[in-house]
Chains A and B, each alone.
Chain A
Amino acid sequence: MISVAALLFRISFWLYVVSAVLYLVNLFSRQAHRRSVGRGLLAVGLCSHTASLILRYLSTGHPPFLNLYEYLISFTWAAVVVYLVIEASCKTDIYGAFVIPLICVFALVAYFLPSEEVYVMPALKSAWRVPHIATAVLAYSSFMVAFVLAVLYLTRERAERHTDSFWRSRLPQSDSLDRTMYRVMAFGFLMQTLLIITGAMWAQYAWGRYWGWDPKETWALVTWFIYAAYLHTRVTMGWRGRRSAILAIIGFVAVLFTLFGVSFLLSGLHSYA
């Protein structure tokens, strides 16, 4: 018997899936009606998702940041919000065909995880937990969206080189993609900076040292360095487009490793998953 909150999350998951299908179909045969239904379903799914998070918070007494299940339901929520903001500001719905299925993949993992209330270890009882994990959710969902944009950029570039009209007519202009990717990255970078710092301050209160080269800490810093390199190459070396996109993709691989690789492949103080 699952809770109402978990049920609402599952409902939003299915709405996202249908929305993803609509966006994908829209990629091949564009139709305004299908577009608005797709977007509408996404928005309704987001409402259900928001309700699910609020209900969970009310019943557990803490924001949903404690284990992988909770993290994924928060992360996917933030990713949908970030996506909708981009769709509204760029006035294009093409990204949805790529971002929403990817969000569904993460939501699918959450679907199969147990949703029971999590026992809060004393080590996790801290005021720093909320800003630390909130910034993690915002940073990594932004980097994920930037990753999708980078892949789209490369697809578009390849389509232009091979005069492929399928992608050319559907993807936005290369420099529009590039600019959006940069803006999303900048936000992600600010969040990543806050993530590392709130983590360091929490570590100082909990363990008496703000930095211990723990694998998770180190990988978060490695991710930060990669995105710092991305930003530097744009500003000082004038890198745009292709090379920037590749760095964005490398950066996301680092993000994936920080999120999952560290917990499952390495061991350390941070293995809370």
Chain B
Amino acid sequence: MRTAILLLLLVAGASMLGTVIKQNASQQEYIKAYGQLGYAVIRSFNLDDVYHSAWYILLLLLLALNLTVCTVRRFSSTWQRTFAPKIIVDPREILSYPKSKCFTRKEASAEEVISNASPVLKKRGYNVKSAASGSSSFIYAVKGRLGMWGPYITHLSILVIFIGAVIGVFFGSRGTMMIAEGRSSDSYWSNSSSHPVELGFSVHLRRFRILTDAQRRPTAYRSYVEVREGGRLKRKGIIDVNRPLVYKGIAFYQSSYGLEGFVVHVKSPKGGTAWVEFGLASLHSPEDLLKSIEIEGKRLSLYVHNAVPDYVGGEAVNATDMPLNPACDLLVTDKIEETRWIGGWKRLGWLQVGDSADYNGYRIRLAKAVTYTVLEVSRNPGLPIVYVGFALVVAGVFLSFYVPRRELRICAVDQDGETTVTLGCPARSADEATEEDVEFVLNAICVVDSKEER
């Protein structure tokens, strides 16, 4: 038991260390904070990643081992005490209990004492077992036996949580997935490996929306998605913060967002039209910001000089990083040679979605702004086991403290015309409530006119 307490305190101390020393920071940060020597110490003991370090895991394993040993040891004794308790014991053992009484009575025999006491105890909710051996009669009364299992269940539950956690670490997976509006993805980038992981189905983003209140503070981040498998629509739903979507054991969480790009519509003076798409997200190359098109044999070049997600105009230009009002600052030219020289371009200015501007007879309109969502993807087969562990630990703690076990032993021996009665409560279950029960039993046996000695 002392090992358990020591291990508990060691794990507590180690865990504290991981919160005081910044985890997974860069070498420069450590040297700046702790100096060269401090950094060397941190590296050699792996204090920069305490919770995944070998010695921390070893501590947890030792704790788990200790728990397992205690759990196995306790099981048979708890079982026996619940289902097959010893009723006949040496009266001297009862005397050794902290709150025991011993006295003699002349009027009643041992059997009568026991049969007087039994109904009183039963009425007070005890499970009463009696037995006789020669001239001695015994009672073993117990209440709240379920409480005996409390500590056992609590310890077992911690082991269950450990097992669930380990399964999650070895068989689970986490990663992220970035999808632009109108597009789908059937894989995600795992945190632990560098190549994409196939889902087996595809997630299509219909729309991404941020809801705001009157002060333009976000109240919800919503990804409207569809799950498709084998070409068929399987699920349609909204992924919001605190409301993940779970499909086939894989959970998708709303994590982040951004501005993906713009779609520009061009109409030439003669009536010809074209669509131009610009990508902004990091996966695209900068060249994506410059696009050239040909309408009716003539060439037109467009360049996204600047883009903001939340255009408010004026000096500030952009208010927040939420794509509430995407806008772009476009440059345009129809002179081929001048594309290399910034002076040859005409600045159209900031266009919000729906705005258009004219250039040499061309009408250029910002038709659409496309946002992308970033979803956190997680698969954890150990999760149900961890949840069972959670339920068990709550049950175990509750049983340990609020379903108290109360035990009472009575031994009555017929001896030379008088009855010697010994009565006691084993150490663990002695408390005020049991004392009340003892009083009632003593009254039932009527101790008024007899010697009372401890």
Contact residues in B for A235 (Cβ distance below 8 Å)? 151, 428
A78 to B242 alpha-carbon distance, docked (Å): 28
Residue A119 interfacial (CB < 8 Å): yes
- CB–CB B242/A197 < 8 A: no
Query: Which residues in A have their C-beta under 8 angstroms from that of B444?
Result: none
Cβ contact within 8 Å between B386 and A218: no
Query: Which listed residue (A119, A193, A232) contacts B213, Cβ 8 A?
Result: A119
Q: Do B401 and A229 touch (CB < 8 A)?
A: no
Task: Write the nearest CB–CB distance from A196 to chain B, whole angstroms.
Answer: 9
**Residue A193 contacts which of B5, B174, B394 (CB distance < 8 angstroms)?**
B394
- Kindly specify which of B6-14, B103-111, B130-138, B259-267 makes contact with the partner chain: B6-14
Q: Tell me whether A204 and B15 are in contact in the complex, defined as CB-CB below 8 angstroms, given that A209-B174, A233-B5 are known contacts.
A: no
Which chain A residues lie closer than 8 Å to B376 at the CB level?
207-208
A123, CB-defined interface residue at 8 Å: yes
Interface centre among B51, B240, B242, B394, by most A CB within 10 Å? Answer: B242
Does B61 interact with chain A (Cβ within 8 Å)? no
Q: Is A73 an interface residue (CB 8 A)?
A: no
Contact B4 A193 (CB under 8 A): no
Q: B1 to A122, Cβ gap below 8 A? A: no
Tell whether A208 pairs with B174 under 8 Å between CB atoms, given A122-B219, A232-B5.
Answer: yes
A32 contacts the other chain (CB 8 A) = no
Binds B, one of A11-19, A92-100, A159-167, A219-227: A219-227
Q: CB-nearest residue of chain A relative to B16?
A: A222
A225 and B8 contacting across the interface, CB-CB below 8 Å? yes
The proximity string for A residues 186-204 relative to B, scoring 1 for CB distances below 8 Å and 0 otherwise, is 1101100110010011001
- Cβ of B303 within 8 Å of any chain A Cβ, yes or no, is no
Bound: A187/B215 CA distance, A = 42
Residue of A nearest to B213 (CB): A119
Give CA–CA (A125, B222) in the complex, Å: 13
B220 close to chain A: CB less than 8 A: yes
Q: CB of B398 within 8 A of chain A?
A: yes
B12 to A122, Cβ gap below 8 A? no
- Asked if A210 CB lies within 8 Å of chain B CBs, one says yes
Q: List B contacts of A121 (CB < 8 A).
A: 218
| B8 & A228 in contact (Cβ 8 Å cutoff) | yes
Interface residue? A206 (CB, 8 A): yes
> Is B244 among interface residues, defined by CB-CB distance under 8 A?
yes
Complex alpha-carbon distance, A208 and B219, angstroms: 20
Indicate if the CB atoms of A122 and B394 lie closer than 8 Å: no
Contact of A208 among B4, B9, B16, B251 (CB under 8 A): B251
Given contacts A213-B51, A225-B12, A226-B12, contact A206 B174 (CB under 8 A): no
Q: Which of B356-400 contact A (CB under 8 A)?
A: 376-378, 383, 386-387, 390, 393-394, 397-398
Contacts of B386 in A (CB 8 A): 210
Q: Give the complex CA separation of A187 and B397 in angstroms.
A: 10
The answer to whether the Cβ of B318 comes within 8 Å of any Cβ in the partner chain is no
CA–CA, A187 to B400, complex, Å?
Answer: 11
**Tally of contact residues, A, Cβ under 8 A:** 41
Q: Which of B8, B12, B242 is close to A126, meaning CB atoms less than 8 Å apart?
A: B242
> Is the pair A237, B1 in contact by a Cβ cutoff of 8 Å?
yes
* A243 nearest CB across to chain B (Å): 12
Cross-chain contact of B19 among A123, A207, A211, A218 (Cβ < 8 A): A218
Q: Which residue of A lies closest to B215 (CB)?
A: A119
Interface code A227-263, partner B: CB below 8 Å = 1, 0 otherwise? 0110011011100000000000000000000000010
| Cβ of A85 under 8 Å from chain B | no
Q: Is the CB of B51 within 8 A of A232?
A: no
Is B140 among interface residues, defined by CB-CB distance under 8 A? no
Contact of B11 among A187, A206, A225, A266 (CB under 8 A): A225
Tell me if A63 is interfacial: C-beta within 8 Å of chain B. Answer: no
B451 on interface, CB distance cutoff 8 Å? no
Cβ of A206: which chain B residues have Cβ within 8 Å of it? 241-242, 253
Chain B hits for A219, CB < 8 A: 16, 19
- Is A205 an interface residue when CB atoms closer than 8 A count as contact? yes
Bound complex: CA A215 to CA B244 (Å)? 24
Is B298 part of the contact surface with A, judged by Cβ < 8 Å? no
Complex-state Cα separation, A197 to B386, whole angstroms: 10
Chain B proximity mask over A147-164: 1 for CB below 8 Å, otherwise 0 = 000000000000000000
Task: Tell me which residues across on chain B come within 8 A of A228, comparing CB atoms.
Answer: 8
When the two chains form their complex, are residues B16 and A205 in contact, meaning their CB atoms are under 8 A apart?
no
Name the A residues within 8 Å of B119 (CB-CB): none
Q: Evaluate contact between B9 and A229: CB separation under 8 angstroms.
A: yes
The smallest beta-carbon distance between B337 and chain A, in angstroms, is 51
Instruction: With CB as the reference atom, state the residue of chain B lying closest to A190.
Output: B397
In the complex, what residues of A have CB within 8 A of residue B151's CB?
Answer: 235
How far is it, in angstroms, between the C-alpha of A189 and the C-alpha of B401 when the chains are bound? Answer: 10
In the assembled complex, the CB of A268 is this many whole angstroms from the nearest CB of chain B, namely 8
Taking Cβ atoms with an 8 Å cutoff, the residues of B that contact A are 1-2, 4-5, 8-9, 11-12, 15-16, 18-20, 23, 50-51, 151, 165, 174, 213, 215, 217-221, 240-244, 251, 253, 376-378, 383, 386-387, 390, 393-394, 397-398, 401-402, 428
- A-B contact list, 14 entries, CB within 8 Å: A122-B220, A194-B394, A205-B243, A206-B253, A207-B253, A208-B378, A210-B383, A213-B51, A215-B19, A222-B16, A225-B9, A232-B4, A237-B1, A266-B19
Give 6 nearest A-B pairs by CB, closest first.
Answer: A225-B12, A215-B19, A236-B1, A208-B378, A186-B401, A126-B242
4 other contacts beyond A186-B401, A206-B253, A229-B9, with CB at 8 A cut-off?
A204-B383, A215-B19, A229-B8, A236-B1
